[in-house]
Structure 1
């Protein structure tokens, strides 16, 4: 248990530092947040996806099973978030959906999985991180485009393929299938961009908070944060049981789904002109509250069979 709290403190403190510096910068200087978001969405995030796919050892059968369980969990979490906004404006319902359905399986999920399970769990968490990253760039845009601009299915497809992450993921998987390696210089360039992704994402959250002040934490924000941190792992447990995951895979899925809202959800909301204030509020509150809730989930993981 002490190790878990140490892992959480080691993960949360860098998040607070980087986001806090971004907030201070935005409070002092006018920052073009849309440009920062687009640098991340169109350049850094695709580089991270390419880097992860080309370097991560993935067992096909296990990856497909974990990916399917993740997908089912994601869809149910998106629906839960949307339901929490019932009776409110459409923009808020969609942003609550993204806040509950898109979680931080990367810079929080991976190190905590390593502390909780060791290398075997870390490898499975990496598979989930890859699945979540691809899923985020498929369903994130879909949250903000489906049902808008008419019912034409092309609206959904345009929203999904507007961001290059999907194209890059497909290209990277093809390279792996063909056993084609990039030149060393290109690989190093991709790795440099990938390493810049997570700091830039956290800075984007800080910029949002610094320019808009501390978010207003209304009842729906608290409910969405609770749904993300408590409802997420419960939904993952149910989905994992339905998919007949092994004990290790089930525990890793539940732990991943207990992570707070991903800041990338905020970047996607900004790119599509959505309710960024709601997404930023859920991301902030769920990240701070996750220090306690993740510790509880980790304590209960041995009971999951």
Structure 2
């Protein structure tokens, strides 16, 4: 119990405090969430990715192993969510699958890894985050069908590919990997500017999370939503443990994978469902339940992880 209380205070409290201030702000005054989200996605996160890739000591082989393990956990989680929707209409089953299979490895996963494991954990969590961005924008549109509208520019795999290719984070990551492979360093002034932007990322992504949750309202809840939330919060870390061990992950890489897999459903899953005419009520309900429930489950995971050795 003392370990859980310490995890609540040391790891969860800073995250919930900043996100809670964002939710409070959304209740007190109108805030343009789109501007905040675009600022984060198109400027700050690319700067963070560039900064981390150029500075991180994580070996390429370890990063590839961690990324592959994440994809396997995601695939298993999508299947688990699909099973949660057995006997339900197709639209609801797809929404439940996405709700379990797409989790918050960015807004919550990055700061949680930093507070729980320090800079080394944060660097490995960034690897997971990079893989999750591409996977989310491929799997999400493909899962919710071909009735795409809006910015995706098309449905199914074509729309998914277009969404991924429009993400600056993907191109920045590719450029950073090339620079690192060529052993090229940025000029000091440019490097410091990138680092300043990178340092602003975590506070803003947490505020953005709070703004989105605060403006979402209280959806109608039913039994399948509770089941999917439990699958996300309990099944997720168990899958992370099993898959990570099978993939040969050890130490901080295994711990980061398990912690990432214990995160609640991503708000981006709701945004993708809305853009592709999915069952937004179901996704919103699982987002709410899993986010609230994660206060307890993540504390338990953080308290138990040191016992893995």
CA RMSD of aligned residues (A): 3.2
Q: State whether structure 2 residue 204 is matched by structure 1 residue 208.
A: no
CA distance in 1, matches of 2:122, 2:241: 18
CA distance in 2, matches of 1:227, 1:271: 25
1:288 to 283, 288, 292: 292
CA distance in 1, matches of 2:297, 2:12: 13
Q: 1:248-282 deviations in whole A, cap 9, x for unaligned?
A: 64444333322334455566667777666655554
CA distance in 1, matches of 2:277, 2:44: 20
Between 1:284-293 and 1:134-143, the stretch displaced more is 284-293
CA distance in 1, matches of 2:129, 2:7: 22
CA distance in 2, matches of 1:300, 1:215: 32
2:71 counterpart residue number: 71
Query: TM-score scaled by structure 2?
Result: 0.80
Change (3 A) 1:20 1:280: farther
1:81 counterpart residue number: 81
Shift in Å at residue 63 of structure 1? 2.3
Shift in Å at residue 174 of structure 1? 0.7
Aligned length: 297
Kept after mapping to 2: 8 A contact 1:99/1:283? no
1:129 to 106, 125, 129: 125
2:164 counterpart residue number: 160
Q: How does 1:11-26 map to 2 (within 5 A)?
A: 11-26=11-26
Kept after mapping to 1: 8 A contact 2:96/2:228? no
Between 1:93-102 and 1:47-56, the stretch displaced more is 93-102
Q: How does 1:171-186 map to 2 (within 5 A)?
A: 171-186=175-190
Shift in Å at residue 169 of structure 1? 0.8
1:240 counterpart residue number: 244
Change (3 A) 1:304 1:259: same
CA distance in 2, matches of 1:32, 1:272: 22
1:144 counterpart residue number: 140
Shift in Å at residue 68 of structure 1? 1.7
1:110 counterpart residue number: 114
Q: 1:139-192 deviations in whole A, cap 9, x for unaligned?
A: 221233224257774333212212111111111111111111112222222222
Between 1:24-33 and 1:156-165, the stretch displaced more is 24-33
Shift in Å at residue 46 of structure 1? 1.2
Between 1:83-92 and 1:38-47, the stretch displaced more is 83-92
Change (3 A) 1:284 1:152: closer
CA distance in 2, matches of 1:187, 1:2: 41
Kept after mapping to 2: 8 A contact 1:217/1:281? yes
Change (3 A) 1:9 1:100: farther
Gap runs ≥5 in structure 1: 115-121
CA distance in 2, matches of 1:183, 1:165: 21
Q: 1:13-62 deviations in whole A, cap 9, x for unaligned?
A: 23333223222322233322222221211111111111211121112222
Q: State whether structure 2 residue 9 is matched by structure 1 residue 5.
A: no
Between 1:191-200 and 1:169-178, the stretch displaced more is 191-200
Kept after mapping to 1: 8 A contact 2:110/2:125? yes
Q: 1:214-267 deviations in whole A, cap 9, x for unaligned?
A: 454433332222122211121122212322334664444333322334455566
CA distance in 1, matches of 2:35, 2:91: 26
Gap runs ≥5 in structure 2: 148-153
2:42 counterpart residue number: 42
